[in-house]
Chains A and B, each alone.
Chain A
Amino acid sequence: MELTRRQLLAIGGAAGAGVVIPAWLRSTIANSGPEFFPARNESLAYRKNLESFVPSVCQECTGGCMLKVRVIDGDAVGVSGHPTHPVTRGAVCPKGPASLQALYHPDRIPQPMLRVGQRGEGQWKFITWDEAIKKVAHQLQDLRHREKPHTVTVLDGSRAGLTRTLLERFAAAYGTPNYVHFNWTMGEYPVDAFRAMQDTEELAYDLTNARYVLSFGMDWLQCFPSPIEASRSYGLIRQGREGQRGRIVQIESRLSLTGGKADEWIPVNPETEGLLALGVAHVILKENRFDRGFTSSRTTGFDEWSRIVAQEYPPDRVEKATGVPQETIIRVAREFASNRPALALSERVSFFNQLAVHALNALAGNIGLPGGVLAANTPEAGTLPSFDPDPVARRGGGRPRVDGAGTTFTLASDAPQQLPENLLAKKPYPVNTLVVSNCNPLFASPNPKRWKDALAEVPSIVSFSPFMDETAAYADLIVPDHTPLESWQDAPSVTLGGERVVGMAKPAVIPVCRTRQAADVLLKVSHLLGGSVGAAFPWANFDTLLKECAQQAHASGHAKPLMLDPAEEPSDEALSIEDFWEVVTAGGGWTLPAEPQRQQTRFNFRPDFVRSPIANQKANIADSFPLRLCLFTPLAFSHADGAHLPYLNSIAGPQLDERWETWAGFNPETARSHGIANGDEVWVESPAGRVRAKARWYQGAMPGLVNMPCGLGHAAHGRWAKGVGSNPMELVEKLLDPVTGQPDWQSQRVRVYRV
């Protein structure tokens, strides 16, 4: 069917206003019946200018920050921070206000779409929600009948909250062990070390009270849980306490945003931060500057750990490996041990590095103290009733996981980047259906081509994406989710200091497209599946579940409603449950009393992992690929996402004033020796491929490295992202940590030459 001018206008609106229609949409319209042409409401009713403010949750990263949305006549026209929410306190980061551009993005997926051409070809047709949901349910029911529920894999990047809980619950009730959480390690807490050493992931760096912050490569101003809180803590460390300007030392191979604001930058060879931490530990041990009380009474493995550290990591040896002078190592060790409270931070890098850095916190006795590492138990919005999986589900759920978490990667709970190889090898069994929610593995992965090859082996891919990103473009069925401002939301979080809050919000605006909330689709599908699966989901809609959680909070008597207007105080009178629901959905949720810092389990120094794995690394191929690639994510593109929003594209590279294209940062010496001038177009090449970038001389780059930002270089994802810049993740050959299964982003060798 040809697209007529009239239909084009019906879709595009303004006559002849140069409406750009993406190719996928053009052909989809051609493939679908006339009933799918969206009718535009052309009535020009006069504006009443009715203004209201409503809470919502920002979902542009996993921070779970609470927003205050300004709505006029049903349109969201402004976003600021929720004024009384303990994490946001009226502030935002740049991603919050930019979420308006996600809501009114011109290239959203308007309603369910079914692939009609070859996979990835961009040939679709619109289908109704009824058809889409029936199709999913039918397919899943069929797999259950064939005793193959375990061959369904759910790949999800959502933050903690009820949507994620429902997806996990669905996997368990339906009968698959394969709920795989898709994470982004840059800026993420070193949760593997937290788990291995303190037996919990629920810890937080109390930056708000620290006096000395020693970061081993964590660009913590852009870190999570919330960049807003990190920024506020920075302000407090600097000017928040009379006469006490905290000291910030940043150890990293590329001078990050945080490094630029630190008092001292210590350049270190990439991926040797752990060795340096152990060098620092060696000095602290040798000079007897550690917290003897803590290490002797509340830790295990200290004697063996300290013996190995004393033996293997003297400063002269560490200097050789890390490139950091001995004197600096000794000085940093003395500063760290004598300025308390002090914090040693790392992000979710290699297991060895995470453990080495986190051990310093125990050595200085900063565990469980304000300004140190605190227990931070994220509250739950509510407790869901237990459910009874049927025998099919129990058998399916008992199968080994397809990502190798817990088996190949002994200490991992999820290992999403191992999926491509296992899918391709059909190991331990073939996967029949992949459900993708809130993540884009075909873009945000080491060498994303691996995923494309692997997905060819999966017969059915269902995507919840509201945007036509790379993964959605490669799906068979898209059941588009709302954007956050159109959704019912919950956001449990805990501040760095341990304040607990459950954010809750109703839709700020009515949906712009004919999309549906993913959680509601999931509920509908499970109801259609019926039996024990349906019984596990006794809620008609997601908001019924939220209301049930609010009822629990109300019954507990501890929940104190948040107020969107800081001048208002929650009333002291006992509210009825209906009133409580009204108040919390209008105010944005409730706070819970802080939990007292419990006696934590004994800190385990993990001496079994303190010997350096560096010696085992694969042979150097320095001759043909002489440079090392270091990737990072600017705040605008945290989680490698955000390039589809033009305001974020404009602020991508604050240090070099770069935007709307991919740049590669070189130390001027390195650039000169390769004959590269500042501003040259260059190819950066690795065995996995090559990408184009604008070379920039940067004094904050170590010699021998190429620094490139992740987030640009989309092959899809709307008009502002597609074809802009290049994706350096395509250069990274897969190298996973053998223990945690997380990718190594900093070890790729590359070469560079002018275009």
Chain B
Amino acid sequence: MPRWGMVIDLDKCTGCQACTVACQTENNLRPGSVEESQRGRIIEWIHVLPVVEGEYPHVKTRYMPVPCQHCDNPPCTRVCPVRATYKNDEGIVAQIYPRCIGCRYCVNACPYTCKFFNWSQPDWPESTHGGKSLSAAHNPDVSVRPVGVTEKCSFCSHRLIKAREQAKSEERPLRSEGDFVPACVEACPAEAMCFGDLDSPGTAVSELSRSHRAFRLQEELGAEPKVYYLTEG
């Protein structure tokens, strides 16, 4: 059974946020608005976190793209009273929207602030010109989340389903890297991200996750994230 994971090289990341927007279009994220921004309710499944260190003129900025960390020991799934969020056999922390009761326990339990609550019905404006609605751009592989439901990065698990079907139709096993690629990794212009089976020897992720530059966020919490970062320098 594969154990899907991601490696993000912070030395290559330029903070351009192509990953953020590619994810938004792939996963039908709500458009956002001034009001949502003022209340801190813009939803970005992969958010580029800026870290400004030092004081003028010795300043260093770092940009850290933070998707759901898909922890092997996820703090969020344990608090869900209805098993709307759980870790599947391949290590992906999944979210079942119709089952979610909106208690937001998982949102608070996540130490990486990667779970987002829909405080209002998302607005996909109808056209004022008789043409198609903004919802025409929706990816039909991903359901739209209504008000009252928590959502998060799924590692684009809908792409895994497709990749598996594709492999099956070609009568071959699913490859441990390359067949299944999340939208953010596909988009990255700096080639800073890679994705694949962490347990499969020879994949870029299994090699890089063991590099001397590799670390994970807040490792001391013991959540065992499957997103690895490579330090700069």
| A residues apposed to B, CB below 8 Å | 10-14, 17, 19-22, 25, 37-40, 47, 49, 70, 72, 75-81, 90-98, 100-101, 103-110, 221-222, 227-232, 234-235, 238-239, 245, 255, 257-261, 265, 267, 512-513, 635-636, 646-651, 654-657, 659-661, 667-669, 698-703, 719-720, 724
A541 → B minimal CB distance (Å):
22
Complex A-B: 21 CB contacts under 8 Å: A13-B130, A19-B125, A38-B130, A75-B136, A76-B137, A77-B138, A78-B139, A91-B189, A94-B21, A94-B22, A95-B21, A96-B187, A106-B134, A109-B129, A222-B16, A235-B192, A257-B15, A267-B57, A647-B32, A654-B63, A702-B57
When C-beta atoms are compared, the residue in chain B nearest to A73 turns out to be: B140
Bound together, the chains give a CA A63 to CA B133 distance in angstroms of 28
- CB–CB A106/B190 < 8 A: no
B193 → A minimal CB distance (Å):
10
- CB–CB B52/A104 < 8 A: no
For A724, what are the chain B residues with a Cβ–Cβ distance below 8 Å?
34
- CB of B61 within 8 Å of the partner chain: yes
For A661, what are the chain B residues with a Cβ–Cβ distance below 8 Å?
34, 37
- CB–CB A231/B189 < 8 A: yes
Counting chain B CB atoms within 10 Å of each CB, the highest count among A12, A267, A636, A661 belongs to A12
A479 → B minimal CB distance (Å):
15
Bound together, the chains give a CA A699 to CA B17 distance in angstroms of 22
- CB of B191 within 8 Å of the partner chain: yes
Give me the 10 closest cross-chain CB pairs, A-B, nearest first: A38-B130, A260-B61, A110-B129, A660-B37, A231-B189, A235-B12, A646-B31, A91-B189, A235-B190, A94-B21
Known: A75-B136, A78-B139, A235-B191. A651 touches B14 (CB 8 A): no
For B61, what are the chain A residues with a Cβ–Cβ distance below 8 Å?
255, 259-261, 655, 700
- CB–CB A91/B187 < 8 A: yes
Counting chain A CB atoms within 10 Å of each CB, the highest count among B127, B137, B186, B188 belongs to B127
For A49, what are the chain B residues with a Cβ–Cβ distance below 8 Å?
140
- CB–CB A47/B140 < 8 A: yes
A34 → B minimal CB distance (Å):
13
A157 → B minimal CB distance (Å):
23
Counting chain B CB atoms within 10 Å of each CB, the highest count among A21, A47, A91, A661 belongs to A91
- CB–CB B187/A92 < 8 A: yes
For A72, what are the chain B residues with a Cβ–Cβ distance below 8 Å?
140
- CB–CB A647/B31 < 8 A: yes
Bound together, the chains give a CA A381 to CA B211 distance in angstroms of 46
For A245, what are the chain B residues with a Cβ–Cβ distance below 8 Å?
233
For A95, what are the chain B residues with a Cβ–Cβ distance below 8 Å?
21
- CB–CB A650/B44 < 8 A: yes
When C-beta atoms are compared, the residue in chain A nearest to B28 turns out to be: A77
Known: A235-B12, A239-B9, A660-B34. A110 touches B130 (CB 8 A): yes
Bound together, the chains give a CA A632 to CA B68 distance in angstroms of 32
- CB of B59 within 8 Å of the partner chain: yes
Bound together, the chains give a CA A59 to CA B5 distance in angstroms of 34
Bound together, the chains give a CA A719 to CA B127 distance in angstroms of 12
- CB–CB B20/A20 < 8 A: no
A651 → B minimal CB distance (Å):
4
Bound together, the chains give a CA A482 to CA B231 distance in angstroms of 45
Near A by CB (< 8 A), chain B positions 88-144 give 125-140
Near A by CB (< 8 A), chain B positions 188-215 give 188-192
- CB–CB B20/A94 < 8 A: yes
- CB–CB A231/B16 < 8 A: yes
- CB–CB B21/A513 < 8 A: no
Bound together, the chains give a CA A238 to CA B133 distance in angstroms of 43
Bound together, the chains give a CA A719 to CA B140 distance in angstroms of 26
- CB–CB B130/A14 < 8 A: no
- CB–CB B191/A11 < 8 A: no
Among B14, B44, B49, contact of A221 (Cβ-Cβ < 8 Å): B14
Bound together, the chains give a CA A98 to CA B20 distance in angstroms of 10
Near A by CB (< 8 A), chain B positions 47-98 give 48-50, 52, 54-57, 59-63
- CB–CB A11/B128 < 8 A: yes
- CB–CB A108/B25 < 8 A: no
- CB of B11 within 8 Å of the partner chain: yes
- CB–CB B59/A650 < 8 A: no
When C-beta atoms are compared, the residue in chain A nearest to B56 turns out to be: A699
Counting chain A CB atoms within 10 Å of each CB, the highest count among B26, B42, B189 belongs to B189
Known: A90-B186, A647-B25. A106 touches B127 (CB 8 A): yes
For B34, what are the chain A residues with a Cβ–Cβ distance below 8 Å?
660-661, 724
- CB–CB B42/A635 < 8 A: no
- CB–CB A655/B31 < 8 A: no
Bound together, the chains give a CA A245 to CA B231 distance in angstroms of 13
- CB–CB A106/B54 < 8 A: no
Given A103-B137, A235-B190, 4 extra CB contacts under 8 A:
A19-B126, A90-B186, A221-B15, A700-B52
Bound together, the chains give a CA A667 to CA B57 distance in angstroms of 10
A328 → B minimal CB distance (Å):
11
Among B55, B57, B192, contact of A265 (Cβ-Cβ < 8 Å): B57
For A698, what are the chain B residues with a Cβ–Cβ distance below 8 Å?
52
B164 → A minimal CB distance (Å):
17
- CB of B169 within 8 Å of the partner chain: no
Bound together, the chains give a CA A724 to CA B60 distance in angstroms of 30
For A21, what are the chain B residues with a Cβ–Cβ distance below 8 Å?
128
- CB–CB B16/A106 < 8 A: no
Known: A97-B21, A647-B24, A724-B34. A108 touches B137 (CB 8 A): no
Among A91, A93, A232, A513, contact of B131 (Cβ-Cβ < 8 Å): A513
When C-beta atoms are compared, the residue in chain B nearest to A480 turns out to be: B129
When C-beta atoms are compared, the residue in chain A nearest to B25 turns out to be: A97
- CB of B174 within 8 Å of the partner chain: no
Known: A80-B22, A235-B192. A221 touches B50 (CB 8 A): no
- CB–CB B18/A92 < 8 A: yes
Bound together, the chains give a CA A47 to CA B24 distance in angstroms of 23
Bound together, the chains give a CA A331 to CA B21 distance in angstroms of 40
Bound together, the chains give a CA A654 to CA B59 distance in angstroms of 16
Known: A91-B18, A92-B18, A646-B31. A701 touches B131 (CB 8 A): no
Bound together, the chains give a CA A239 to CA B20 distance in angstroms of 23
- CB–CB B137/A106 < 8 A: no
For A20, what are the chain B residues with a Cβ–Cβ distance below 8 Å?
125, 128
B82 → A minimal CB distance (Å):
30
For A79, what are the chain B residues with a Cβ–Cβ distance below 8 Å?
22, 25
- CB–CB B33/A660 < 8 A: yes
When C-beta atoms are compared, the residue in chain A nearest to B230 turns out to be: A239
B143 → A minimal CB distance (Å):
14
Counting chain A CB atoms within 10 Å of each CB, the highest count among B34, B135, B138 belongs to B34
- CB–CB A91/B233 < 8 A: no
- CB–CB B21/A647 < 8 A: yes
Bound together, the chains give a CA A660 to CA B132 distance in angstroms of 25
Among B12, B21, B38, contact of A239 (Cβ-Cβ < 8 Å): B12
Known: A49-B140, A647-B31, A654-B63. A97 touches B22 (CB 8 A): yes
B208 → A minimal CB distance (Å):
10
- CB–CB B52/A91 < 8 A: no
- CB–CB A255/B137 < 8 A: no
Among A37, A39, A93, A650, contact of B32 (Cβ-Cβ < 8 Å): A650
Among B16, B55, B136, contact of A94 (Cβ-Cβ < 8 Å): B16
Counting chain A CB atoms within 10 Å of each CB, the highest count among B135, B136, B186, B192 belongs to B136
Bound together, the chains give a CA A37 to CA B60 distance in angstroms of 56
A360 → B minimal CB distance (Å):
23
- CB–CB B132/A238 < 8 A: no
For B140, what are the chain A residues with a Cβ–Cβ distance below 8 Å?
47, 49, 72, 77
Bound together, the chains give a CA A101 to CA B128 distance in angstroms of 14
- CB–CB A232/B130 < 8 A: no
- CB–CB A92/B189 < 8 A: yes
Bound together, the chains give a CA A570 to CA B15 distance in angstroms of 36
